[in-house]
Structure formats: C-alpha cells, structure tokens
C-alpha cells in the first residue's frame, strides 16, 4: 500500500518580496542601541549594538531602479533589517532612519561601490524611503490550501 495520504491538504503562503536568503549567520557591530535587546527567530540586536542576522533570514536586496551587485548586498541586508525593526516599532523610525541610510552608504563604499553611486543610493533613500520605515499594521499573510 502507498504510504502517501490523499486525505490531507497542503497549505502554503506566497512570498512577494524576497529574493535572497542567508545561508549562514551574519554579525556586525552598529551604533544603534535598542532600549531593550531584541531577539527574534531571524535576528538579534543587543543593547551594545551587536547585530546578528541569522541563517534563513530573507530580504529583497537593493530596492528601486538599481542593479543588485556584490557591492550592494551586505549593505542592503543590514538596511533591510533596520527598516524592518522600525516597521515593527522596535526602533523609532524618526530617530533611526537617517542612521540606517548613512550606514548603507558607508557599507557600500567599504565594499567597493563608487562614491557617486553610493551617494545616489543614499539620496534616493532620503527622498523616497520613509514609507518603508514607518510602522505598519500588516495584515496576516493569506494562506492558500489545496483541496482535502
């Protein structure tokens, strides 16, 4: 007899935003200090500024009209984490957003991006990035199921 059951449904959710997923933990020390340490399944941020993005974390990479290059990836990872913490109201977006944007610019330059492109990225974020940092009350993801 076949061990597969045909009386159970499978349920899934669609992912709309993510292009990349970490295959190992990423550690960086940053100047942001949360009021209390943050610990989630995919990241932690200590009150001393030690940020750990854990294996399995997914992010969308560089956003906007840009090209995903190696010089942009590390900065986009940290930037997306910080913006996520702002949307979750763990970090105050009005106090933290400019630092996150400046950190992205610095990390991109450190990773070999030309200064003009890094300036352009930073400037675009300052003009249009706020809506991605403001706290949101996201609806739960839609769950689709196959027939039982």
Segments making up each domain of the chain, as ranges:
17-132
DSSP H helical ranges for the chain: 70-87, 93-110, 115-128
pLDDT at position 22 over 50:
yes
Split at pLDDT 50, 70, 90, the class of 16 is low
Which residue has better confidence, 4 or 109?
Answer: 109
Query: How many whole angstroms separate alpha carbon 75 and alpha carbon 68?
Result: 11
Query: How many whole angstroms separate alpha carbon 53 and alpha carbon 67?
Result: 23
- Residues forming a β-bridge with 58: 21
Q: What is the pLDDT of residues 90-114, one digit of tens each?
A: 888 888 899 999 999 999 999 999 9
- Mean per-residue pLDDT, 3-19: 60
Say what the pLDDT of residue 31 is. Answer: 93
DSSP single-letter state for residue 138: P
State the angle between helix axes of 70-87 and 93-110 in degrees (0 to 180), rounded to the nearest 10. 170
Residue of 83, 5, 84, 10 whose CA lies nearest to 41: 84
Say what the pLDDT of residue 5 is. Answer: 43
Say what the pLDDT of residue 147 is. Answer: 64
SS3 45: strand
Say what the pLDDT of residue 137 is. Answer: 66
* Dihedrals phi, psi of 128, to nearest 5 degrees: -120, 0
pLDDT at position 69 over 60:
yes
Contact 80, 59 (CB under 8 A): yes
For the ranges 5-19, 36-50, 54-68, 124-138, the one whose mean pLDDT is highest? 36-50
Query: Any idea which of 13-22, 119-128, 136-145 has the lowest mean pLDDT?
Result: 136-145
């Amino acid at each position: 007899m076949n061990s597969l059951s045909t009386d159970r449904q499978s349920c899934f959710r669609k992912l709309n935003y993510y292009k990349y997923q970490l295959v190992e933990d990423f550690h960086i020390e940053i100047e942001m200090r949360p009021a209390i340490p943050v610990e989630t399944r995919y990241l932690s941020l200590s009150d001393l500024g030690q940020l750990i993005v854990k294996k399995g974390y997914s992010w969308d990479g560089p956003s906007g009209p840009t090209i995903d290059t190696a010089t942009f990836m590390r900065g986009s990872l940290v930037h997306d984490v910080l913006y996520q913490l702002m949307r979750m109201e763990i970090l105050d977006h009005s106090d933290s957003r400019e630092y996150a944007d400046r950190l992205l610019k610095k990390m991109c330059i450190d990773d070999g991006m030309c200064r003009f492109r890094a300036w352009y990225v930073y400037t675009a974020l300052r003009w249009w990035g706020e809506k991605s940092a403001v706290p949101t009350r996201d609806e739960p993801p839609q769950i689709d199921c196959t027939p039982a």
